[in-house]
Amino acid sequence: MFIILNKKILQMIIVIFLITIIILTGILIHNSKKEVYTSLQENKNYNIIQQGSDTSNYIAFACNVDWGNEVIPDMLEVFKSNDIKITFFVTGRWAEEFPDIFKMIIDEGHEIGNHGYKHLNYSQLSYEENKKQIHMAGDIIKKYTNTQPTLFAPPSGDYNENTLRAAEELGYKTILWTIDTIDWRDDSTKDVIIDRVMNKTKHNGAIVLMHPTVETLKAIPSIINQLHEKNIKVGGISDVLLD
């Protein structure tokens, strides 16, 4: 009798345990779906720009800077000789460490964007740390330009919802790219870079991502000439955006 009773009690305990597991699993699945839905809904409102207006006769050059000091002065000369102003996205760390080169970019009249304070993986950062990195860089840029930047390019194009939320709350448009030169790779020669830009069928309003590399410097004059032959002007991010 005692053994039978214990078996019944044990069976009841097992049934109750299984029911509890099923209920808890259902709650977790429901909450998980709700969080994903909320995240997707919120992301729809964030201003992420990969392409400007396709009715524009401009193409935007976006040069991300956290290194490449030895190339930037010559790059500026090429743009100056062609009467071109592009957008330079600079990290706050770089601007602080190399103010003379940063001032050269500013004095040439180029548009300045925010590239975060440090070149980190922003998708791995919390909301607070994302906001701190963007805010710090913005303050440094404003110190030299006397203007608050409004364009933000996350390093390596790496971001998460925290990044987008922080950038938007600080008044920035988040900028990515249409055409990636991938010029930081060792196999990216002058001709490869030119092909990556010019092989695209549509250039109107496109955003071309580049960095201050020797091969990019070699490629820029040819890219400019070929774009001009297609009646496409080279400019910065603001030139391809229609507010």
pLDDT at 29 exceeding the cut of 80: no
Question: Do both 39 and 105 map to the same domain?
Answer: no
Average pLDDT over residues 182-204: 96
- Per-residue pLDDT tens over the stretch 60-71: 999 999 999 999
Which band of pLDDT confidence, cut at 50, 70 and 90, is reported for residue 47? confident
Show the domain range for 9: 1-45
pLDDT band at 40 (very low <50, low <70, confident <90, very high): very low
Specify whether 58 is located in the same domain as 4.
no
Percent of the chain topping pLDDT 70: 81
Same domain, 31 and 137: no
Q: Total domain count for the chain? A: 2
Residues 19 and 88 in one domain: no
Calpha distance 157→150 (Å, rounded): 17
Same domain, residue pair 32 and 143 = no
* 139 and 221, same domain (yes or no): yes
Task: At 156, list the tokens.
Answer: 């390596």
Same domain, 101 and 154: yes
**Residue 178 φ/ψ, nearest 5 degrees:** -100, -45
203-217 pLDDT, tens digit each? 999 999 999 999 999
Q: What is the CATH number of the domain that holds 186?
A: 3.20.20.370
Q: How does the average pLDDT of the chain come out, rounded?
A: 88
Contacts of 42 by beta carbon, 8 Å cutoff, 6+ apart: 161, 165
Question: Residue 36: which pLDDT band, with cuts at 50, 70 and 90?
Answer: very low
Residue 17 confidence (pLDDT): 61
pLDDT at position 242:
76
Same domain, 101 and 220: yes
Q: Is residue 166 predicted with pLDDT exceeding 70?
A: yes
Q: Say yes or no: 52 and 9 in one domain.
A: no
My answer on whether 4 and 66 are in the same domain is no
State how far Cα 120 lies from the chain centre.
12
Q: Choose between 24 and 13: higher pLDDT.
A: 13
pLDDT at 13: 63
State the amino acid at position 195 in one-letter form. D
Q: Do 127 and 166 belong to one domain?
A: yes
Same domain, 128 and 76: yes
pLDDT at position 7 is: 59
Tokens standing for residue 224: 């400019």
